[in-house]
Chain A
């Protein structure tokens, strides 16, 4: 009986070790697959949470898989990143072992994409420059009014309108130059911006936007979606 207890305790210990080794291996494999299929410039950080991992693998269903992509991995300007949590990821173990995973149903995806101000500025027309300010942001841009080019700056708020980021400005002023008030009132509307976020994959929808120090945070969500490798 004592020997049996020792064997069972040893086996439980080995199972715990095997569980942690297996989760590390699986995270590495998932990261490599995402890098390859997504044509990324580096392996993202993958964290398969929950304990034990092996029981999730046997059931073919993972409660919470977190993926973090940095600017370098995405090949985007510094400050851009994406953090995604996939809940209820369904991948049968048999499909993993046979290498036949074609699509991955997921119950829900929650995520945050951080668009750096450098990235947003580059996407907007002209010499537009965005910087954080308080709970909003500041936009600086050269506009043309009555045939004259005027460098203007204004504080604004950013909101979401469908798939568009909308920047509404208030209190425009000349950026380093004195601009008459009557000209400012005409030019202020030209600082309003609308940036259409490209269509997101996997049924992801934008649910919110928050300006922060490192960029604009976009909240993403999708339910009952299926992840598939991009065609071709």
Chain B
């Protein structure tokens, strides 16, 4: 399975597989711990704190890893979008996900202005795209704030976040050992890891639902867990592409030859992106499933 077209030079990451997978797996545990633990300890404030920490972590990691031009401006706009998204869903008496459209609209405007006014304006389109994606991601993560006011919702969020976390950890660990059949040249992710990730998410959802109690049956829990895990696994795959692209060796240089150069980024900043981006994509799905259950 090699999607690289003949003649195209496959990307080679300077990052060894261990550095690609292990920090991400470890950070997935930490992120899930924050999202499940803080609300248990501090209630709504804990949920807000956990989401905000992950959002700000994602903003920093994204701006560093994707190389968006206008570092300080992008950081400011990303952080402001994160705070605005959280406030839009926390402050109103009856919050609605639709409020995020205002945040996205103003955020887009801010990004365009920030990118247009910086000098020199190199890589304008790429930086604009990256910043817009960042705003979408931090806004999506805020969706978790809409769930949890009732015990039933809080239980579902915990189960779903555990399922997503299990999918991330299982996927990275399997791909560390057996990234086969490889999904793309140069990207250390395999189909086996993807399948195991989905199965792990479903299994953890069933266990979590049984432990937490409530009306969620085993079949429903397995299906919902699998859906959340699949979203997490696919977006984690996309995040791996981004990481490989960001750490690519110039001109197809062999890894051994470039060993001295080493990875340009800290594996931890890469790991934050690999963990928080999938969780952000899962958040609206968790909200939708929570509303439907």
Contacts and interface: CB of A to CB of B under 8 A. Distances in A.
Interface of A: 1-5, 7-8, 50-52, 55-61, 92-94, 97
Given A4-B242, A5-B129, A59-B146, A94 B97 contact: no
A1 B98 contact: no
Give chain A's interface secondary structure class: helix
Nearest to A93: B291
A113 to B, nearest CB: 29
B136 A8 contact: yes
Contacts of A4: 133, 238, 241-242
30 contacts: A1-B66, A1-B130, A1-B133, A1-B242, A2-B126, A2-B129, A4-B133, A4-B241, A4-B242, A5-B129, A5-B132, A50-B98, A51-B98, A51-B101, A52-B98, A52-B101, A56-B96, A57-B291, A58-B97, A58-B288, A58-B291, A59-B95, A59-B96, A59-B97, A59-B146, A59-B291, A60-B291, A61-B96, A92-B291, A93-B292
Nearest to B234: A7
Given A8-B133, A55-B96, 18 more contacts: A1-B129, A1-B242, A2-B129, A4-B133, A4-B238, A5-B132, A50-B98, A51-B98, A52-B98, A57-B291, A58-B287, A58-B288, A58-B291, A59-B94, A61-B94, A92-B291, A93-B292, A94-B291
Contacts of A7: 238
A9 B288 CA distance: 20
A56 B293 CA distance: 16
Interface in B247-293: 287-288, 291-293
B145 to A, nearest CB: 12
Given A59-B291, A94-B291, A94-B292, A1 B96 contact: no
A102 B84 CA distance: 37
Contacts of A5: 129, 132-133
Interface string B57-90: 0000000001000000000000000000000000
